[in-house]
Every structure is written in structure tokens, then in C-alpha cells.
Amino acid sequence: MLKPPTESPGNGTGPWNFTLPKDATFTDEYAPLLPEDERTAQLVHQRLIQEVDVKAVEKLGADRSVEAVEMATRALLAEVGPALYGERKERVIRRIVDDAVGLGPLQPLVNDLSISEVMVNSPDEIYFERDGIIYLSALRFRDRDHVSLVIDRIIAPVGRRVDESSPFVDARLPDGSRVNIIIPPLVPRSPTITIRKFRPDKYDMQDLVQIGTLTQTVADFLRAAVQLRLNIVISGGTGTGKTTLLSALSAYIPERERIITIEDPIELKLHQRHVIACEARPPNIEGRNEVAQRDLLRNALRMRPDRIIVGEVRGAEAFDMMQAMNTGHVMLMAGFDLPVRAIREQMAAAFHLVVQLARFADGSRRVVTVSEVVGMEETTVTMQELFKFEVASIEPDGRIDGALAATGLMPTFAERFTRAGIALESFLPNIARWA
């Protein structure tokens, strides 16, 4: 770890008009450059723009473009900053290359596999999440224009746009990381960027058991539920691990089945080979040619699916999805205000299990309930908890101890398990036997 330089860039001059905490420490990768090194980096960057066709270089592909820009940067730096050497020189080079063909100050955070989320609130407020805890980074943008430049670099390759007529957008990075961007006037202070990073070393179910997201018993129960083709909803707040659990559960789908995923944007990386990934499309600049998730869902039913996985349900596609679960056919209900009771009846008939996740104060993400959707009582959807997490204690270091255990209730779909030769008692000890 390094202490910030005595002459911190946060001295209120130039673009670095922020103040770092006196006791702040940063890794070498994320420490601010010395003011003179920052000036050198900007001079070299300006020369780079003048002397190198960066747009042409970017067409070479990610790896080759970085190599080409780094080579040109080293040559220019030998002229502009001959006194630089060692790690100090390498950090200046990394900064210039990241600004030229990367995501500027966000690039080292995106490269760091231990970081799960990157959040830009303003040019001088970049946060990141590691192990469920949010930290303020020492990295900074020069100004709002610098933020906008990085935004353009994110959305241009995927054909998205963000402007006054469309002030927020969802996109993805080449590695599959999900990006949300929103610009003024909806956020008056500055454009904001939120990056939910894709993990190349994605968790499987055993990983989730080992880190305490759920128990082996619950994992085995969910595996049986997937294999018996029960309809499962995974729910929870932002950043609770819904997509991670969904990806892990998908490994239990047999290889012989045809899977169609519907997302906006694509982020699921399934284990099977026979997968068709569909992605919604926003309207163009004239407000036309939009393809919504519900359009993709209706089309997916004509593609001979064995399984349909909807990555995130946010709109009218929810009702289409329930219709498909119940009847195998989609009824076009757009434009109709359906009674609440009718919607709830669809929910009660369509869903079998709801797996609820939560993020705790210590940063851990856990399954807190696995509930069965039982049916309807008048206008209320009735549910019963099959597994429930109970907090036992909070340790002095803030760690939360607890257990996810069976409640002892028997699910109404128990006969499905019996017909398949699966002993429910192995998952639900001391279950209340039905008459």
C-alpha cells in the first residue's frame, strides 16, 4: 500500500480540484499521479491524438490496439518526459493508454477481478464494490467532458445512444459487464455510470455453497426442482446475486434441452451448448424499431424451446411470461388494464418457487427464503416458506452468523418428487406429512 504523494493532486488546482483524506491509502495501481506526472500524461496524450490515428488503431482489435498505442506512448514519453523511469513511468504509460483506447480512470477498476461493481457519481467521485463493501477510489476524471468521452466509448460499439431525447441507457462492455448510464438534466450534477462487472470465473453452485450463499441441502433441493421443470422466480434487491444464482442453477438443465434466454442487455453465460441468446433493442433516434423483451418472448415460443430463461422482468413481458407458463401460448394483452385479481391468479398458477436473496450489512449475499407459491385465498396469493434464514449472532468484526434451515412444511408438489423417485425427506427433514 502507498500513502498519497505529499503534493497530492487534490490541491485544488487544475482538474484535480478535490481533497483526499489525510489517512487515505491506495494500491499502487490506483494511487493518483504526482501533479507533474499528470501534466506530462496530458501532454503526451495530446501529442498522441495529433500524431496517431487512434480511430484506425481501435479497429485492430482490443489487444493489438493497446499494444500499438502503448508503443507510440513509450516513444513520445521518451521525448516529453525523459527523466521518468521505473514504476512511476509505467503508471504514466498505463494512464495514457487507458485514456486513449480504454475507459480512462475506470480501466484499472474494470481490470481488477476482485471488484464487482464500479460507480461514477461525478468526475471526482468514483466508487467501487469489493466483497460487498463500497469504497471511494482515489481515481478521478478531469471533468464532465472526460466522463462523457468514456460514455461515448462504452455505448458506440453496441449501437446505443444517450442524449436529451434518451437520457439513460443500458449497455454492456465487450467482456459482458452490464452498464447503466444516465445524464443531465435527470442527474443535474454530472453524468453517472454504473458498471456491474461480469466475472469470467463465474460461480457454480458448489462455490455458492462454500461462500455461504446457500446450504448444500438447499442446492440439492433446487437442483431437483430444476430437473422436474418447476417454474422458479429468483428475486432480491440490486446486487444481491440474482444473476449469479440463476447462472449456477442453469447448470442443472440437461444438455439435450434447447434453451432460449431473453435479456436486456445480455449477461447470462450458460454452461450448455444448445443456447439461443436474445437481446432486446431500444428505439432508434427517430423512436422506431424497438424490440422489447415481450416481443422476444412471444417469438421464443415459436422457436421450439425446452426452457425459456428471462434474465430480468421489468414490464409487460411479466404477464406474457405467466401466460406462457400456464398455457404454452402467449395471449396479447397489451393495452388492457387487467384486474389485480386476474394478475394474481396468473401468478399463483404460473409460479412454483420463489427464491429470495438479500445482501447483509457485512457484505455477504445469501438466500434468505425459498418459498412455494401455494395458490389464492380470495385476492391474496398465498405462499409457504420451505427454507428460511435465521440470524443467530453478529460477531464483533460485523460478520453475521446464521443458518438457512428447513421449516418442516411439505410442498404441495411433493408427489412430483415421489413419482421421480426423489426422497423429499433428504431435503426437508421433519416435514409435516400430508394426510
pTM: 0.72
Longest dimension (CA), the chain: 86
- Written out in words, the top-level CATH class of the domain with range 205-426 is alpha beta
pLDDT on residue 113: 87
Average pLDDT in the 246-251 region?
90
User: Does residue 424 have a pLDDT over 80?
Assistant: no
Q: pLDDT per residue over 64-86, tens digit each?
A: 888 888 999 999 998 888 888 88
- The more confidently predicted of residues 406 and 52 is 406
User: Does residue 12 have a pLDDT over 50?
Assistant: no
User: Does residue 323 have a pLDDT over 70?
Assistant: no
Cell of 25: 491509502
Q: pLDDT per residue over 212-246, tens digit each?
A: 999 999 999 999 999 899 999 898 888 888 888 98
Classify 236 in phi/psi space as left (phi over 0), alpha (psi -120 to 50) or beta. left
- Written out in words, the top-level CATH class of the domain with range 105-198 is alpha beta
With contact defined as beta carbons under 8 Å apart, do 413 and 371 qualify? no
pLDDT on residue 25: 43
Residues whose CB is less than 8 angstroms from the CB of residue 173 and which lie 6 or more positions away in sequence, other chains included: 110, 154, 179, 195, 198
Instruction: Please give the mean pLDDT across all residues of the chain.
Output: 82
Lowest-confidence pick of 51-60, 318-327, 328-337: 328-337
With contact defined as beta carbons under 8 Å apart, do 339 and 350 qualify? no
Task: Report how far residue 294's alpha carbon sits from residue 284's, in angstroms, rounded to the nearest whole number.
Answer: 18
User: Does residue 17 have a pLDDT over 50?
Assistant: no
pLDDT on residue 23: 44
**Residue 3's pLDDT band (boundaries 50, 70, 90)?**
very low
With contact defined as beta carbons under 8 Å apart, do 96 and 41 qualify? yes
User: Does residue 26 have a pLDDT over 60?
Assistant: no
Q: pLDDT per residue over 111-144, tens digit each?
A: 998 898 999 999 999 999 988 788 899 898 989 9
Give the domain ranges of the chain.
105-198, 205-426
User: Does residue 278 have a pLDDT over 60?
Assistant: yes
Cell of 51: 500524431
Task: Report how far residue 242's alpha carbon sits from residue 238's, in angstroms, rounded to the nearest whole number.
Answer: 8
Let me know the angle formed at the C-alpha of 270 by 266 and 275, rounded to the nearest 5 degrees.
80
Q: pLDDT per residue over 165-200, tens digit each?
A: 889 888 888 888 889 999 999 999 999 999 998 776
